[in-house]
């Protein structure tokens, strides 16, 4: 017998109908929201829908993902209803050279929404009587981005993003740890919003905030033909990027290793690393922050 979604009251299920009513409206980006109890990979499932002609703005969410993948094929899984695991279908009509900004845009949207949703605002009476409560209200979870699109709190990973091309469309996958407890973490270098002191047992408001933040950034960026400068995307990304100014070790394709200090994220979204032999531009690689 399968576990009831209501067996853990600290992890209530998502409701497809309620999400659709609040997100799928005329004039918005979102055209459909589907919630499934379990799947191997939302990216793989949504890719199949894309090949069948599903429209831009289709969102697929799962309560449990059994074969999720991150960058470099790393597995990504979590107990049922302990995180937000979802994929978005996009069909951006921008220059190919600017499509590389989509994963970075997603990182900005998710990080911004998480910071906003974890900025606790105490009741008015408590704000009047407790100065510490005022200070707490101004301290959201300090989510930062590790290039290109991992979300970190300190040096622990909170979320990962994977963007894949499918027949002219883009599938944007997000895995965000929400209610994971320490003993449930897949690796010691991971974390969750619960562990970071921001328990959000109801994930629906967080998902809605992420999708609305994403829509705002995507529409502005898309309307400007994917220009990261005029849309403000590059500035926003650099403001959130924990990799800027850091000493790094970058695992490059072909088993090459680059070490140096990150100087910039350029107009194409690439990392600019000041190495011993001069500046190197990195378009793909696995970055390790060196203490």
Q: What are the DSSP calls for 221-283, one per residue?
A: HHHTTT-TTTTSHHHHHHHHBSSTT-EEEEEETTTEEEEEEEEEE-TTS-EEEEETTEEEEES
Residue 144, pLDDT above cutoff 50? yes
**CATH classification for the domain delimited by 244-289, as one of 3.40.50.2300, 3.30.365.10, 2.30.30.100, 3.30.1240.10:** 2.30.30.100
Tokens of 53: 């002609």
Q: How far apart are CA 94 and CA 145, in angstroms?
A: 24
Q: How far apart are CA 82 and CA 119, in angstroms?
A: 20
The β-bridge partners of 3 are none
Categorize the per-residue pLDDT at 272 as very low, low, confident or very high, splitting at 50, 70 and 90.
very high
Q: Which CATH architecture does the domain made up of 16-236 adopt?
A: 2-Layer Sandwich (3.30)
Residue 128, pLDDT above cutoff 60? no
> 66 or 169, which is more confident?
169
Q: Is 242 exposed, middle or buried (0-12, 13-18, 19+ CB in 10 A)?
A: buried
Residue 124, pLDDT above cutoff 90? no
The confidence score (pLDDT) of residue 78 equals: 74
Domain boundaries, the chain: 16-236, 244-289
pTM: 0.90
The confidence score (pLDDT) of residue 133 equals: 45
Residue 117, pLDDT above cutoff 50? yes
> 119 or 248, which is more confident?
248
| 182 Cα distance to chain centroid | 21
| Closest residue by Cα to residue 214 from 42, 14, 56 | 56
């Amino acid at each position: 017998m399968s576990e009831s979604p209501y067996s853990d009251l600290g992890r209530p299920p998502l409701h497809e109908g309620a999400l659709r009513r609040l997100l799928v409206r005329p004039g918005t980006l979102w055209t459909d929201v589907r919630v499934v109890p379990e799947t191997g990979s939302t990216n793989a499932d949504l890719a199949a829908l894309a090949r069948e002609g599903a429209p831009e703005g289709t969102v697929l969410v799962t309560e449990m993902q059994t074969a999720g993948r991150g960058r470099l094929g790393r597995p990504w899984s979590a107990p049922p209803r302990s995180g937000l695991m979802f994929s978005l279908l996009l069909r951006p009509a921008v220059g190919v050279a600017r499509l590389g900004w989509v994963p970075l845009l997603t990182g900005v949207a998710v990080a911004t929404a998480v910071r906003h949703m974890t900025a606790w605002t105490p009741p008015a009476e408590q704000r009047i009587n407790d100065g510490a409560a005022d200070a707490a209200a101004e301290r959201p979870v300090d989510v930062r981005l590790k290039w290109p699109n991992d979300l970190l709190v300190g040096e622990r990973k909170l979320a990962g993003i994977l963007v894949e091309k499918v027949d002219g469309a883009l599938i944007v996958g997000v895995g965000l740890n929400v209610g994971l407890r320490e003993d449930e973490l897949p690796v010691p270098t991971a974390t969750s919003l619960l562990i970071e002191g921001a328990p959000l047992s109801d994930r629906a408001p967080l998902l809605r905030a992420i999708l609305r933040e994403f829509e705002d950034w995507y529409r502005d960026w898309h309307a400007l033909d994917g220009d990261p400068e005029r849309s403000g995307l590059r500035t926003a990304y650099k403001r959130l990027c924990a990799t800027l100014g850091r000493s790094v070790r970058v695992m490059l394709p072909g088993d090459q290793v680059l070490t140096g200090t990150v100087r910039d994220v350029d107009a194409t979204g690439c990392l600019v690393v000041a190495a011993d032999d001069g500046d190197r531009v990195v378009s793909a690689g696995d970055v390790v922050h060196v203490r």
